[in-house]
């Protein structure tokens, strides 16, 4: 689990809570059930209206993915591809069939299997690129959903404020409650702005970043598979793939040893 999103969202909400306490705000006033229902349920309804029924699972799965997904191990992937390039050079492409059975990455496994089967390089590239395009389209569903949540929440919060002011203006004769009603009217607006900028938009950003990293790994797999098929030397394969990694292509193991 990557804890970056959890820490970031927690820090944001803690900062708002501490500020509210320092300003003398009654925290119970902020826990307004009507405002919370409007913001969470109303925002979800508005954002989900743009989804197809088949996309609901993808969109909702984005929440779990944002908090629970691990950062893709690009360096480890390079090691696997280099090991295959080395074995292919020494024993031939057919020797990779046994290695393919132990590969966890489905795209790499598919690419190596096609290589062993003697599939043409252009056909391999075309099929693997199609998988990448499909991956981008799938990931975009959850990203767009949470971006929409972040866009709609503040506006729905304004609706809550208007409803609250209507209630306050309907009770002008009750001077004792008027101040409380006016203050409560803006609770929905506060929640709308806070949840949009403190949760929904950051989640969308995290999902977008995860997708970028995973797509980069997939593109590296395509390049690696084609290099293995072409019989490129393991050293050249490693240099070529690591040059695309953060850190200027320096092998982290070598850097640590140095």
Mean pLDDT along residues 225-254: 80
Contact 178, 171 (CB under 8 A): yes
DSSP string, 212-237: HHHHHHHHHHHHHHHHHHHT--HHHH
* pLDDT of 26 higher than 50: yes
Give 174-218 pLDDT, tens digit per residue.
877 888 888 888 999 999 999 999 999 999 999 999 999 999 999
* pLDDT of 257 higher than 70: no
Residue 191 has what pLDDT? Answer: 96
Residue 55 has what pLDDT? Answer: 94
pLDDT band at 98 (very low <50, low <70, confident <90, very high): confident
Residue 214 has what pLDDT? Answer: 94
pLDDT band at 250 (very low <50, low <70, confident <90, very high): low
Q: The dihedral of CA 167, 169, 175, 179: what is its sign?
A: positive
DSSP string, 53-101: GGGHHHHHHHHHHHHHPPPP-HHHHHHHHHHHHHHHHHH-GGGHHHHHT
- What's the token pair of residue 120? 């043409």
> What are the distances in angstroms from CA 54 to CA 40, 58, 144, 151?
22, 8, 15, 23
Give 149-170 pLDDT, tens digit per residue.
999 999 999 999 999 999 888 8
> What are the distances in angstroms from CA 83 to CA 80, 89, 113, 201, 238?
5, 10, 15, 40, 9
Residue 258 has what pLDDT? Answer: 42
Give 39-95 pLDDT, tens digit per residue.
999 999 999 999 999 999 999 999 999 998 888 889 999 999 999 999 999 898 898
Comparing 168-172, 173-177, 226-230, the range with the smallest average pLDDT is: 173-177
Contact 252, 78 (CB under 8 A): no
- What's the token pair of residue 242? 């690591």
DSSP, collapsed to helix, strand or coil, labels residue 21 as helix
Q: Tokens 């309907």 identify what position?
A: 170
Number of Cα atoms under 13 Å in the Cβ half of residue 167? 16
Residue 190 has what pLDDT? Answer: 95
Within 8 A by CB and 6+ apart from 56, the residues are: 48
Q: Tokens 């790499």 identify what position?
A: 108
Number of Cα atoms under 13 Å in the Cβ half of residue 127? 16
Gap between the Cα atoms of 85 and 230, Å rounded: 9
Residue ranges of domains in the chain: 4-73+128-242
């Amino acid at each position: 689990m990557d804890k970056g999103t959890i820490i970031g969202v927690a820090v944001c909400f803690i900062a708002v809570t501490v500020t509210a306490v320092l300003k003398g705000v009654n925290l119970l006033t902020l826990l307004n059930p009507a405002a919370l229902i409007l913001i969470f349920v109303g925002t979800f309804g508005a954002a989900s209206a743009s989804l197809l029924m088949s996309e609901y699972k993808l969109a909702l799965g984005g929440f779990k993915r944002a908090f629970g997904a691990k950062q893709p191990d690009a360096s480890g992937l390079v090691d696997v591809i280099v090991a295959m390039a080395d074995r292919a050079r020494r024993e031939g492409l057919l020797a990779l069939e046994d290695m393919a059975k132990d590969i966890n990455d489905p795209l790499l496994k598919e690419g190596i299997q096609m290589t062993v089967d003697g599939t043409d390089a252009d056909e391999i590239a075309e099929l693997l690129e199609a998988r990448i395009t499909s991956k981008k389209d799938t990931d975009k569903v959850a990203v767009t959903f949470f971006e929409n949540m972040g866009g709609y929440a503040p506006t729905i919060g304004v609706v809550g404020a208007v409803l609250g002011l209507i209630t306050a203006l309907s009770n002008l004769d009750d001077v004792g409650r008027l101040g409380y009603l006016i203050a409560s009217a803006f609770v929905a607006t506060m929640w709308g702005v806070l949840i949009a900028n403190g949760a929904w938009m950051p989640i969308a950003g995290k999902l977008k970043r995860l997708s970028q990293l995973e797509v980069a790994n997939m593109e590296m797999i395509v390049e690696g598979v084609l290099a293995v098929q072409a019989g490129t030397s393991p050293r050249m394969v490693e240099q070529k793939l690591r040059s695309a990694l953060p850190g200027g292509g320096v092998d982290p193991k070598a850097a640590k040893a140095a």
